[in-house]
Amino acid sequence: MARKRGREIDGWLILDKPLGPTSTDMVNKLRWAFDAQKAGHAGTLDPLASGILPIAFGKATRTIPYIMDATKHYQFTLTMGESRTTDDLEGEVLATSSYRPTDEELRASLPALTGEVMQVPPVFSALRVGGQRAYDLARSGRPPELPPRPARIDSITLVSRPNADTAIFEVQSGKGVYMRSLARDIALACGTVGHISVLRRTKCGPFDLSHAITIDQIALDKSAQTVDKADALPAPLLDVATALVDIPALAVTEAEGRILIWGQSLDPADLTYPLPAVSREGDQLWRAMIGEHVIGLCQIRDGRLRAVRMLENHEFFGEHDVDYCRTPHGSDR
């Protein structure tokens, strides 16, 4: 089997994405800079959006779904008076309105848009319609009718009103919420039209601007490396398990860790370190930890503690453990 190109690098880089490039552009650029075998991102940012873009390398890509599902924070500027095809500054003007709501009207519209709501995505989005991307259909002059989708918006706050045409909001939301749609809907709820003119993500799961670095702070020129620094990374990475800090920890012994890594299950009543009382069948995730090291995620299913996603394999314990792990102990998968 041919060896994969690139280095085996594991960890997170939290990029403060600039305006202009796509999220995929940034992943490809950094994968090349790090000479990494595997990389991906958690939570797409549009070209006209900036801010927190978590980029995963190696084993960290296994934890991307948990960042995608995590709570996110945004700040955006709603510009009123024009609706646009893309619901942001990039699109063509669709309709205009001379009406400008007051601050009180803007605030009064927010409760109905908060909580578990149904949201119509922007026509220019990556959603698939009949096997094609919605934005491809829209660009070809066939904008699709997208049905409303469930969305969780925890809070919306009017931060400031720079002038009659613009209002700045801060939002905390769950997975899959479109800020462009939210800005559009706030304007419509106030009897006018509008679009996002500035969008910045300030937090994504456990990652915020204190973790972020800009593309200018990363050494992208590999040709400038000297021989003695050839193995040095262009920028430091955060540990893979950093993405999981919001998930409660469960201490396990090495023997219990081996069983989980080999896909076998454990009786919660027999654990060396008991599960805390907040455990709920089929719902609560746990970070399985041996000492200070996270080996993966587990969950109680059918009354047994089972692995959900492991970050380590049998090599973590050394080759002498292989025969032990192949015994039938706990093999009721």
Active site residues: 46
Query: What does the block give as tokens for 193?
Result: 């039209």
Helix (H) or strand (E) run with residue 182 in it: helix 179-189
Task: Look up tokens 């990039």; give the residue.
Answer: 90
* DSSP codes, 122-150: PSSSS-EETTEEHHHHHHTT----PPPEE
CA distance 74 to 52: 10
Q: CA separation (Å) from 73 to 93, 139, 242?
A: 28, 30, 18
Q: Are residues 53 and 199 in contact, defined by beta-carbon separation less than 8 angstroms?
A: no
CA distance 330 to 300: 14
Which residue type occupies 328?
A: P
Q: Are residues 63 and 92 in contact, defined by beta-carbon separation less than 8 angstroms?
A: no
Which residue type occupies 44?
A: T
CA distance 129 to 146: 8
